Amino acid sequence: MNTAAAPLVDPKSFHSFAEFYPFYLGEHSNRTCRRLHFVGSTLSLVCLGLLLYTGRWPYLLYGLLCGYGFAWIGHFGFEKNKPASFKRPLYSFMGDWVMYGQIWRGKVPF
Protein backbone atom coordinates (compact mmCIF):
# COMPACT_ATOMS: atom_id res chain seq x y z
CA MET A 1 0.00 0.00 0.00
CA ASN A 2 1.36 3.41 -0.93
CA THR A 3 0.68 5.63 2.09
CA ALA A 4 1.11 8.78 0.00
CA ALA A 5 -1.95 7.81 -2.08
CA ALA A 6 -4.00 6.56 0.87
CA PRO A 7 -6.55 8.84 2.51
CA LEU A 8 -5.35 10.28 5.80
CA VAL A 9 -6.83 8.44 8.77
CA ASP A 10 -6.63 9.78 12.29
CA PRO A 11 -5.46 6.89 14.51
CA LYS A 12 -7.54 8.38 17.34
CA SER A 13 -10.72 7.63 15.37
CA PHE A 14 -10.60 3.90 16.18
CA HIS A 15 -12.75 2.66 19.06
CA SER A 16 -11.10 -0.73 19.56
CA PHE A 17 -7.84 -2.49 18.90
CA ALA A 18 -9.64 -4.76 16.43
CA GLU A 19 -10.54 -1.67 14.35
CA PHE A 20 -7.06 -0.21 14.74
CA TYR A 21 -4.96 -3.25 13.81
CA PRO A 22 -5.72 -3.31 10.04
CA PHE A 23 -4.72 0.37 9.95
CA TYR A 24 -1.56 -0.51 11.89
CA LEU A 25 -0.63 -3.19 9.36
CA GLY A 26 -1.20 -0.72 6.53
CA GLU A 27 1.26 1.63 8.20
CA HIS A 28 3.82 -1.20 8.01
CA SER A 29 3.55 -2.17 4.35
CA ASN A 30 7.25 -1.57 3.72
CA ARG A 31 9.21 -4.79 4.26
CA THR A 32 12.30 -2.99 5.62
CA CYS A 33 10.16 -1.14 8.14
CA ARG A 34 8.63 -4.44 9.34
CA ARG A 35 12.07 -6.02 9.56
CA LEU A 36 13.38 -3.11 11.61
CA HIS A 37 10.39 -3.46 13.95
CA PHE A 38 11.12 -7.16 14.28
CA VAL A 39 14.81 -6.61 15.06
CA GLY A 40 14.02 -3.86 17.55
CA SER A 41 11.39 -5.97 19.29
CA THR A 42 13.75 -8.95 19.46
CA LEU A 43 16.51 -6.80 20.94
CA SER A 44 13.99 -5.39 23.42
CA LEU A 45 13.17 -8.92 24.57
CA VAL A 46 16.89 -9.65 24.95
CA CYS A 47 17.25 -6.51 27.07
CA LEU A 48 14.26 -7.56 29.18
CA GLY A 49 15.85 -10.95 29.71
CA LEU A 50 19.13 -9.30 30.72
CA LEU A 51 17.25 -7.03 33.13
CA LEU A 52 15.58 -10.01 34.76
CA TYR A 53 18.83 -12.00 34.86
CA THR A 54 21.13 -9.25 36.14
CA GLY A 55 18.72 -6.92 37.94
CA ARG A 56 20.42 -3.99 36.23
CA TRP A 57 17.79 -1.38 35.44
CA PRO A 58 19.66 0.30 32.55
CA TYR A 59 18.60 -2.68 30.43
CA LEU A 60 15.05 -1.31 30.58
CA LEU A 61 16.24 1.90 28.92
CA TYR A 62 18.27 -0.08 26.37
CA GLY A 63 15.21 -2.15 25.53
CA LEU A 64 13.07 0.94 24.97
CA LEU A 65 15.78 2.53 22.85
CA CYS A 66 16.10 -0.61 20.71
CA GLY A 67 12.37 -1.06 20.25
CA TYR A 68 11.45 2.51 19.46
CA GLY A 69 14.74 3.42 17.76
CA PHE A 70 14.55 0.66 15.17
CA ALA A 71 10.82 1.25 14.62
CA TRP A 72 11.21 4.98 14.11
CA ILE A 73 14.09 4.50 11.69
CA GLY A 74 11.78 2.18 9.77
CA HIS A 75 8.96 4.71 9.69
CA PHE A 76 10.89 7.88 8.94
CA GLY A 77 13.53 6.29 6.70
CA PHE A 78 11.63 3.63 4.77
CA GLU A 79 7.86 3.77 5.33
CA LYS A 80 7.87 7.59 5.06
CA ASN A 81 5.16 8.05 7.66
CA LYS A 82 4.87 9.01 11.32
CA PRO A 83 4.61 6.19 13.84
CA ALA A 84 1.05 5.68 15.08
CA SER A 85 2.53 5.56 18.58
CA PHE A 86 2.52 9.36 18.54
CA LYS A 87 -1.30 9.35 18.63
CA ARG A 88 -2.25 5.86 19.88
CA PRO A 89 0.65 4.65 22.04
CA LEU A 90 -1.14 1.71 23.71
CA TYR A 91 -2.74 0.36 20.53
CA SER A 92 0.56 0.81 18.69
CA PHE A 93 2.45 -1.06 21.41
CA MET A 94 -0.12 -3.85 21.25
CA GLY A 95 -0.01 -3.84 17.43
CA ASP A 96 3.75 -4.19 17.42
CA TRP A 97 3.62 -7.35 19.52
CA VAL A 98 0.71 -8.84 17.57
CA MET A 99 2.60 -8.17 14.32
CA TYR A 100 5.78 -9.61 15.87
CA GLY A 101 3.95 -12.84 16.71
CA GLN A 102 2.35 -12.97 13.26
CA ILE A 103 5.76 -12.54 11.63
CA TRP A 104 7.05 -15.50 13.65
CA ARG A 105 4.06 -17.58 12.55
CA GLY A 106 4.37 -16.54 8.90
CA LYS A 107 1.05 -14.65 8.82
CA VAL A 108 2.80 -11.34 8.10
CA PRO A 109 5.70 -11.44 5.62
CA PHE A 110 9.18 -10.86 7.01
> Can you give the length of the chain in residues?
110
* 72-91 per-position pLDDT tens digit: 999 999 999 999 888 899 99
In whole angstroms, give the CA distance from residue 50 to residue 52.
5
Q: How far is CA 32 from CA 13, 16, 51, in A?
A: 27, 27, 28
Contacts (Cβ under 8 Å, ≥6 apart) of 10: 87
Quote the pLDDT of residue 10: 84
* 90-107 per-position pLDDT tens digit: 999 999 999 999 999 999
Quote the pLDDT of residue 50: 98
When pLDDT is cut at 50, 70 and 90, the band that residue 53 belongs to is very high
Question: What are residue 5's phi and psi, to 5 degrees?
Answer: -90, -15
Quote the pLDDT of residue 14: 94
